Copies of this chain bind each other. A is one copy, B any other.
Amino acid sequence: METIGFIGTGHLGYPIAENLLKAGYTLRIYNRTREKALPLEQLGAILVGSPEETAVSGGIVLTLVADDHALQAVATEALVKALGQGGIHVSMSTVSPDISRELSAHHRERGVTFVAAPVFARPEAAAARVGNAVISGPAAAKEKIRAILEAGFAKNIFDLGEDAGSANVLKLMGNFMIAGALEMMAEAFALAEKNGVDPRAAYEMLTTTLFSGPVFRNYGAMILDRKFTGSPSFSAALGLKDMDLVLQTARRSHTPMPLANLVQNRLTTILAKDVHDADWTALASGALEDAGL
Q: Which residues of A are in contact with B by a Cβ distance under 8 Å?
A: 97, 120, 132, 134, 156, 158, 160-161, 163, 165-166, 169-170, 172-174, 176-178, 180-181, 183-185, 187-188, 190-192, 194-198, 201-202, 204-216, 246, 249-250, 253-260, 262, 287, 290-292
Contact = CB atoms under 8 A, between A and B. Distances in A.
Q: Which of A195, A249, A259 has the most chain B CB atoms closer than 10 A to its own CB? A: A195
Given A165-B196, A191-B169, A291-B255, A210 B205 contact: no
A208 B120 CA distance: 13
Number of copies: 2
Given A205-B134, A262-B262, A177 B169 contact: no
Contact of A210 (B120, B169, B191, B287): B120
Contacts of A257: 187, 190-191, 287
Q: Which of A160, A170, A255, A290 has the most chain B CB atoms closer than 10 A to its own CB? A: A255
A290 B256 contact: yes
Given A120-B209, A174-B210, 15 more contacts: A97-B195, A132-B205, A156-B209, A158-B205, A166-B195, A169-B191, A170-B205, A176-B188, A177-B206, A181-B184, A210-B214, A256-B290, A258-B262, A259-B262, A262-B262
